[in-house]
Amino acid sequence: TLCQQASFLTSATQLGECPSDSGLEVAFAGRSNAGKSSALNVLTHARLARTSKTPGRTRLLNFFRLDDERRLVDLPGYGYAKVSLSLKQHWQQHLEAYLGGRQSLVGMVLLMDIRHPLTDFDRMLLNWSGACNMPLHVLLTKADKLSFGAAKTALFKVSSQLKQEFPNARVQLFSAPARQGIEQAQSVLADWLRL
Ligand code: GDP
């Protein structure tokens, strides 16, 4: 199965500090509190990312090793009012540099709280991935917060919006505590990472 031996590799504040750009890499992105840490942990059967974090804490690019050839990358999210504009701009710049320049990047997972999908942050990442035709997989997180019917409706709405604007993107329902959508997400990762 996917990533049984996933472990923390390194953090980088800029492109120069990233591990060697070889092999295959999948990046995880999402606004703060979207459920990225929870998803990373449940998808890799590991405790890679802490789920309780200080709002506004400086977030870096965090690299996790799956094996010698494969990595997952936790991209910085933002969304807390406490974070200064200059810090947001710094993040945006190094995110853009990473996404545009990383050869080993084969796909991106974008996490959106199902109750607040397609924020400006999400659209920024969708635009970048669309511009370089990068495969992107959306996890609509916290699906357990909605009824089955409401979750399906939200999925349909986001799916039709993406279809028009971002043909490189796919979307699914996800819940870490309800263990919903885990196998579906893992099979996307396995496909991208050629596992
Ligand atoms: P991150 O900031 O994107 O890394 O988000 P976290 O993974 O730290 O999750 C933020 C909060 O949402 C935490 O309190 C989690 O327990 C909660 N959470 C994350 N995923 C889910 C989910 O699928 N369902 C529910 N009900 N809560 C979730």
The three-class DSSP label of residue 118 is: coil
ipTM, interface predicted TM-score of the complex: 0.99
Looking up tokens 């703060």, which residue turns up? 32
CA distance 88 to 93: 9
Amino acid at 155: L
Q: How far apart are CA 170 and CA 4, in angstroms?
A: 25
3-state secondary structure (DSSP) of residue 143:
helix
Q: Which two tokens stand for residue 109?
A: 């997972």
Q: Does residue 41 have its Cβ closer than 6 Å to ligand 1?
A: no
**Segment 145-176, tens digit of pLDDT:** 999 999 999 999 999 999 999 999 999 999 99
**What phi and psi values does residue 115 have, to the nearest 5 degrees?**
-85, -15
151 lines ligand 1 (CB under 6 A): no
* Domain residue limits, the chain: 7-192
Q: Could you read off the pLDDT of 87-129 as tens digits, one per residue?
A: 778 777 888 889 889 999 999 999 999 999 999 889 989 999 9
Q: Give the pLDDT band of residue 76 (cuts 50, 70, 90).
A: confident
pLDDT of residue 59: 57
Task: Kindly report the CATH class assigned to 7-192.
Answer: alpha beta
For ligand 1, say whether the CB of 51 is within 6 Å of any of its atoms. Answer: yes
Greater model confidence, 177 or 85: 177
pLDDT digit string (tens) for 24-74? 999 999 988 999 999 999 999 877 766 445 444 455 788 999 999 999 999
